Amino acid sequence: SQQGEEDPQALSIQEGENATMNCSYKTSINNLQWYRQNSGRGLVHLILIRSNEREKHSGRLRVTLDTSKKSSSLLITASRAADTASYFCATSERGSGNTGKLIFGQGTTLQVKP
Amino acid sequence: GAGVSQSPSNKVTEKGKDVELRCDPISGHTALYWYRQSLGQGLEFLIYFQGNSAPDKSGLPSDRFSAERTGGSVSTLTIQRTQQEDSAVYLCASSLVSSLGQGKMETQYFGPGTRLLVL
């Protein structure tokens, strides 16, 4: 079952602006990951944040994790037209028998206008 | 090095026919996953292989779906008696598995997917 809920479902911004996407989940997790998908094909891994981490940076990406609220956010700063894509959060659930399978959200479609 | 590869890229079949989708994981990756993505949706977990352990088949939607992984490398997902609702992009991913303190941490690397259309 899909446990991730992402908002907004769609986001349109001008190049140079910041884009913020949010993800909520329901169960206890080992980690949360963000992926990007272009043109409905393969996913590209962006960043992984562990359950004991609160914030992580990678280039223009900033991810936060609030386990008390079971939520995460992805911030893309100084956006570029090339950032146009769908962004998905995915959680790896904690618990016995955890296989590391990922539970994906429905995704946020980001459009960056030049 | 080479990433995850999948074949075919696209497959069009008639309702009731069987299809086989192939995944070549990254060399040395012990874990392999199949996901399905319907149009405009997120990914849905199907099945997971890890080494010689029994696969986690909990995500397979019906007994028409099966998968195998021979020799711990290449995997084949088979859909028997395809239905129109099986139309989707089927994505394969592989990863290394590591256990660090509080649990497994894995980055999954995805292939480009197979776009299946059942007419």
The whole-number pLDDT of residue B72 equals 77
Give me the domains of chain B, ranges plus CATH numbers. Answer: 5-106 (2.60.40.10)
The whole-number pLDDT of residue A3 equals 53
Q: CA gyration radius for chain A?
A: 14
Taking contacts as CB-CB distances below 8 angstroms, the residues of chain A near B10 are none
- Residues B42, A105: C-beta atoms closer than 8 Å: yes
Question: What mean pLDDT value characterizes chain B?
Answer: 89
> How far is Cα B72 from Cα B31, in angstroms, rounded to an integer?
9
Band (pLDDT 50/70/90 cuts) for residue B101 is: very low
Start-to-end Cα distance in chain A: 37
Taking contacts as CB-CB distances below 8 angstroms, the residues of chain A near B42 are 2, 4, 88, 104-107
The whole-number pLDDT of residue A95 equals 62
The whole-number pLDDT of residue B32 equals 93
| Cα–Cα distances in angstroms (integers) from residue A7 to residues A80, A112, B1, B77, in the given order | 20, 17, 35, 32
> How far is Cα B105 from Cα A70, in angstroms, rounded to an integer?
18
Q: Any CB–CB contact under 8 A between B105 and chain A?
A: yes
> How far is Cα B90 from Cα A3, in angstroms, rounded to an integer?
20
Q: Where does residue A39 rank: exposed (0-12), middle (13-18), buried (19+ CB within 10 A)? A: exposed
In this predicted structure, the answer to whether residue B13 has a pLDDT above a threshold of 50 is yes
| Cα of B5 to nearest chain A Cα, Å | 10
Q: How many CB atoms lie within 10 A of CB B92?
A: 28
Taking contacts as CB-CB distances below 8 angstroms, the residues of chain B near A52 are 102
> How far is Cα A1 from Cα A96, in angstroms, rounded to an integer?
18
Token couple for B56: 């986690």
pLDDT tens digits for range B27-65:
988 889 999 998 877 889 999 998 888 888 989 999 999
- DSSP, collapsed to helix, strand or coil, labels residue B84 as helix
> Across the interface, which of B97, B102, B111 has its CB nearest the CB of A42?
B111
Q: Are strands B114-118 and B10-13 parallel, antiparallel or unpaired?
A: parallel
Dihedral sign from CA coordinates of B50, B59, B36, A69: negative
Length of chain B: 119
Structural domain total, chain A: 1
pLDDT tens digits for range B42-52:
889 999 998 88
* Chain A with chain B: Cβ pairs closer than 8 A: 80
The whole-number pLDDT of residue B105 equals 55
Summarize the confidence of residues B5-15 as an average pLDDT: 96
**Pick among A29, A43, A65 to test the B interface (most B CBs inside 10 A):** A43
Output the domain CATH number for residue A68: 2.60.40.10
> Across the interface, which of B50, B102, B105 has its CB nearest the CB of A99?
B50
Domain containing A92 equals 5-113
Band (pLDDT 50/70/90 cuts) for residue B99 is: low
Summarize the confidence of residues B101-116 as an average pLDDT: 77
pLDDT tens track of chain A, all 114 residues?
Answer: 345 678 888 999 999 999 999 999 988 888 899 999 987 678 999 999 989 999 999 999 999 999 999 999 999 999 999 999 999 999 987 664 556 778 898 899 999 999
Taking contacts as CB-CB distances below 8 angstroms, the residues of chain A near B7 are none
Q: How many CB atoms lie within 10 A of CB B34?
A: 27
